[in-house]
Amino acid sequence: MPAFAGVESAPVRNRLVTMLALGLACPVAAAAVTCEQYGAIAQQTVRLRDQGTSLKRLLADVDRGEMKEKLTPHERAVVRNVVRHSFEGTLAPAEVVEACREGGAVVPQR
C-alpha cells in the first residue's frame, strides 16, 4: 500500500465533524446560525481548501448528514454560499461575518 493511500480519507472523514464543531455547535437546537458561526465555516473552508479538499467535495458535505438535518433549507443555501465564496477567495472569513451583520447578499441577515 502506498504511503499516501490514507491521506485523503482522514480529512474527508473529519471534514463534516470539524465544520459542525467549529461552525454549527449550538447549545440550543432551534437556534439560528449566528454570523460568527458562518465566519467559522468560512475559516474552516479556507483551511480545507489549503489542504487540497475540492469545492465540489465541501459543497456535497453541506447537503448530507448532520448538516442537512440541523440546518433549514435557507441556512444550507447560505452555508453553500459561504463555502463557495470562501473557497474562491471572494470573501475572507472576517468579511463573511461583516456581511452577515450588515445583512449582505452573501449571508443575509435573519
Dump pLDDT digits (tens) for 27-70.
434 458 888 999 999 999 999 999 999 999 999 988 887 778 88
Q: Give the pLDDT band of residue 11 (cuts 50, 70, 90).
A: low
CB 44 within 8 A of CB 19: yes
Q: Is residue 9 part of a domain?
A: no
What is d(CA 15, CA 61) in angstroms, rounded to the nearest whole number? 8
> Residue 78 belongs to what domain range?
36-110
Domain membership flag for residue 45: yes
102, part of any domain: yes
**Does the global pTM surpass 0.85?**
no
**Number of domains making up the chain:** 1
C-alpha–C-alpha distance, residues 12 and 27, integer Å: 25
Integer angstrom CA distances of residue 107 from 10, 14, 51, 99: 30, 25, 25, 6
Instruction: Report the b/e string of 8-19 with b at 16+ CB within 10 A.
Output: eeeeeeebbeeb
**Of 10, 9, 36, whose CA–CA distance to 24 is shortest?**
36
Q: Is 30 among the domain residues? A: no
